[in-house]
Amino acid sequence: MVELVAGSYPLTAKATDSRTATATSSPIAVTVTGAAPTLAIAAAAGLDGSTVNETTVLVNGTITAPPNSGVTVNGILATVGTDNQFSANDVPLSAGANPITLTVTTQDGASASQAITINSSGSGGFHGLLDEPDGIAPHTVTFTVSGGSMPVATIEFDVDGNGTVDVTTQGIPPTGVVATYSSAGTVRPRVTFKDASGSVIYTATKQVHIIDPADKYNLVKGAFTDMVNRLKAGTNTTALNLFFGHARDTYEDVFNKLGTDLPTIANQLGAVEGITFSNAIAEVTMSRMVNGAKQYFMIHLMRGEDGIWRIESM
């Protein structure tokens, strides 16, 4: 017995007579149901109800969600690591109590939210920013800092968040500090401002997600493969969830015109030969045999403003 996970599958019947002649039926879609996947989001311990002395804040936490899901924090796109941690480094705050809504959304539109409150007692005028909070290993980020009303003597950068200072600058560096992360994972760099006596004036903690290239490959391939499997099963509507809005209408018309032939055509799309990608765009190279010759064609995907990978053209 073959155990199937929940999902849609194409099913065909094949008949063979006594002379070994065969015939195969047209595919039909069979849906295997299962328990609904758990979908949840939770802020890191200590965030809800906390008070900070700044006008922006790092909001981070964890999600339970299927691959290719996105997270927003008060509408700001967060980064999501393969370890199911998320973070938004510079969520704006006003003086007083700030309601913060965390939302995780799947590629099919299911969502879960959590509401928290973070209080701001004002701003010391100091800021620490980084330009690229997520990327593919090896990943390079630039830390830029700005000072407030108090004189700054030194700034210490703990770029990997292990408690050890990696770089110390005299005053505010005009071009920032550059750090390169070679290994995949989640790090929490920390920037500390000090005065001439060595007393701490201000600290800023950020979060960086660095993804293994193999994990990014699998994420992109998974989004495309999921779309193809939905077409093979004849579930056109859910397959269209994997297309951007501007492409969705075009391919919806194409799929409707293909009608019952669509699952057969989807089975003939070919094989993935390779994927090239950056942090937000990808190109899938496909191949198939046509009249005895191998032909190649490209599928283009992008990571949308909701953090979800979808097909832009094919």
Q: 286-289 — which CB contacts under 8 Å span 24+ positions? A: none
Mean pLDDT along residues 139-147: 92
What does the pLDDT read at residue 127?
A: 83
Mean pLDDT along residues 234-262: 92
* Contact in structure between 138 and 144 (CB atoms under 8 Å): no
Structural domains of the chain ordered from first start? 36-123 (2.60.40.10), 124-211 (2.60.40.10), 214-313 (3.10.450.50)
Q: Among 24-38, 40-54, 214-228, where is mean pLDDT lowest?
A: 24-38
Q: Which residue has the higher pLDDT, 123 or 80?
A: 80
Banded pLDDT at 37 (limits 50, 70, 90) = low
Per-residue pLDDT reduced to its tens digit, 156-202: 999 999 999 999 999 999 989 999 999 999 999 999 999 999 999 98
